[in-house]
Amino acid sequence: MRALVRFPAGAQERARSLIRRVDLSKAVVAGVAGALAMELLSIPLRLAGVAAIDLVGELGSILIPGEHAIGALGGLLAHAAVGIAWALFYAYFFWGRLKWPRVVQGLAFSALPAILAILFVYPQLKLMQAHETLARVRLTDFAHIPLGTLLSIIATHAVYGLVIGWLYRRPVGYPVGDKPAAPAAARDFERAPGHGRSRKNGFMFTTGIECSYPTIEKGRWRRDEMASALHYRNWQRDFDLCRKIGITHLRYGPPLHLTFPARGKYDWSWIDEPMAELEKYGPEPIVDLCHFGVPDWLGDLQNPELPSALSAYADAFAERYPWVRFYTPVNEMYVCSRLSALEGIWNEQRHDDHAFVTAAFHLASSSIAMTDCILKHRPDAIFINSESSDFTQPCCPDPDVQHRADMENERRFLPLDLIYAHDLGDSMKAYVREQGKTDDDLARFKQRKVPRRSILGLDYYEWNERLVDTQGRIRSLGELFGWYVIAKQYYDRYQRPLMHTETNRTGADDAPRWLWRQWHNIQLMRKSGVPLVGFTWYSLTDQIDWTVALSESLGLIFPVGLFDLNRDVRSVGLAYKQLIEMFSDVPEFRECEGLAKVMA
């Protein structure tokens, strides 16, 4: 099966020109190592009689004329500093912008400092060593560089490029099995006033802390968006930013891979203080217990132990934090299954239908088991089952194209059909049977009594609408029908109260316009009689690498947050604040009838 296009055509290429997060420690190490490698290459060349450049000696002789140990040390430090400066330039402005192997990227980059060294640096060093009061500089001076010196400059810089290309990689995330720095300790400060957890039946004006944590590179590298977006360091400030703009509810996902390090073992130190802050000051958390990844010891979504393990985790979580009422047991089950088992991007990185069906059934089973465990501790818990609101349009009446579009439009419902005990369509029944599922497997889901306090959360982005072209390929269509039309399809199928649980867009002008366009969809849906209980701009801060679906560790900043990574408000943050102020005290939003019925 061809890969699903999650972003508009050309978006990944444009994304590579975005500003990025840089791992300063890796860049420093790469720069120093590259500089040392240059020197180690130049030494044997000089010993062999080649008129190779001696940058350390040249720099040292400027500090102290002649050969001197202190001068040599100073020259070495100066050379290392220059190596670091170029490595930082590489990391910020060059690395990852080309789809080349990293050593090739480094080698290509090395041409820039090599050319500058030939044209300016080497001639300038020679002039500085002349110790003359007056010297004449000509543009042709570089032409008189000895051939051996010229070739050595090119060769040593090539080695420098190869070294930094090899060493500088993966600026975000960490190896599976490792951990990021622990969250900052709680501190006392003057908090912004907010709604806190006091507005019981009010419409949910929501944002979220982006908390995805899938693995990539065949399970070797962990993506951790909370670490990448600096939430562990800034969690108190992040919660206070929510209060400052009037957020009432916060989608918040504890890092499952860190808080659940082994079966029967839990490390709540990652979230005890953040959860205490939310309990006391708000906003009300909607807790995502599983968000696109699983703990190291569980492996991936193909593990049949997933439902029992995650239900045990949900049981332990609900017991420790009994005050939490809103839950999303498993976020976007369809998207997680598809990108992990059909698209080959995350976790198991498979490309087959059997793996997709297995993953979807495991996640649906996990969601149900987790829900049952939570209800034992909190019978009045409310479950917001968030899923991507997808739609695929055929481009023409060709039967194969029509069939492909129909298949995609049925498959999008599979995990929700399972947890909501809804009959699968005939084509989807045949599909899952082909992948080894039996009628008994389906019957177990169909017999489920769905909790009354279940809300269908639907996420919407411009890439949610897709087109099947004449070659059977799926392409991004952009916003054609919009959230209202697609969400209505889901509502008609499941008849559950709705919540708009994710949306965003980049751009100082486009993002506020998109915010209001989505809000008008909300208003239209409410006027049509559909019980709609909340709206979400996702996320609070900018995200990292979502323009490439977290498939690579590039450090690309995706500027879709209400605040940037410096925690400065964006235009869409101000627009959302205005929207909340405008509507939060309107009677129909101050007392949301749909939410009141759910919570009764």
Q: Kind of pairing, strands 221-222 and 174-175?
A: antiparallel
Q: Is the pLDDT of residue 135 over 70?
A: no
* Cα(19)–Cα(45) distance, integer angstroms: 40
Q: State mean pLDDT over 200-221.
A: 96
Q: Which residues contact 518 (CB under 8 A, 6 or more apart)?
A: 460, 483, 500, 503, 535
pLDDT of residue 68: 65
CB 286 within 8 A of CB 249: yes
| Residue 592 amino acid letter | C
Q: State mean pLDDT over 496-523.
A: 97
pLDDT of residue 46: 81
Q: Is the pLDDT of residue 589 over 50?
A: yes
Helices (H), 172-286: 225-228, 231-244, 256-259, 272-281
Q: State the CB neighbour count (10 A cutoff) for residue 27.
A: 24
pLDDT band of residue 3 (cuts 50, 70, 90) is: very low
Nearest to 153 by CA among 104, 120, 129, 106: 120
Q: What is the pLDDT of residues 433-463, one digit of tens each?
A: 999 999 999 999 999 999 999 999 999 999 9
Q: What are the chain's domains?
A: 11-16+189-599 (3.20.20.80), 24-167 (no CATH)
Q: Which residues face 476 on adjacent strands?
A: 466
* Cα(564)–Cα(570) distance, integer angstroms: 7
* Cα(125)–Cα(117) distance, integer angstroms: 10
Supply 309's token pair.
């393990």
**105: which DSSP letter?**
H
Q: What is the pTM of this model?
A: 0.92
Going from the C-alpha of 472 to that of each of 181, 342, 392, 393, 402, the distances in angstroms are 46, 16, 12, 11, 9
Nearest to 6 by CA among 556, 548, 453: 548
Supply 336's token pair.
């997680």
Q: Which of 61-75, 150-164, 258-272 has the lowest mean pLDDT?
A: 61-75
pLDDT of residue 471: 92
Total residues found in the chain within this entry:
600
Helices and strands (H, E) in the chain, number of each type: 24, 16
Q: Is the pLDDT of residue 47 over 90?
A: no
pLDDT band of residue 405 (cuts 50, 70, 90) is: very high
Order of strands across the sheet that contains 215-216 = 174-175, 221-222, 215-216
Q: What is the pLDDT of residues 99-123, one digit of tens each?
A: 899 999 999 999 999 999 888 887 7
**Phi/psi-derived region of residue 596, left when phi > 0, alpha when psi is between -120 and 50, beta in every other case:** alpha
Q: Is the pLDDT of residue 52 over 80?
A: no
Supply 565's token pair.
């990574």
Collapse the DSSP code of 437 into the 3-class scheme (helix H, G, I; strand E, B; otherwise coil) and give the result.
Answer: coil
Portion of the chain with pLDDT greater than 70, in percent:
92
Going from the C-alpha of 431 to that of each of 25, 357, 466, the distances in angstroms are 49, 9, 21
Q: What is the pLDDT of residues 215-241, one digit of tens each?
A: 999 999 999 999 999 999 999 999 999
Cis peptide leading into residue 65 (ω within 30°): no
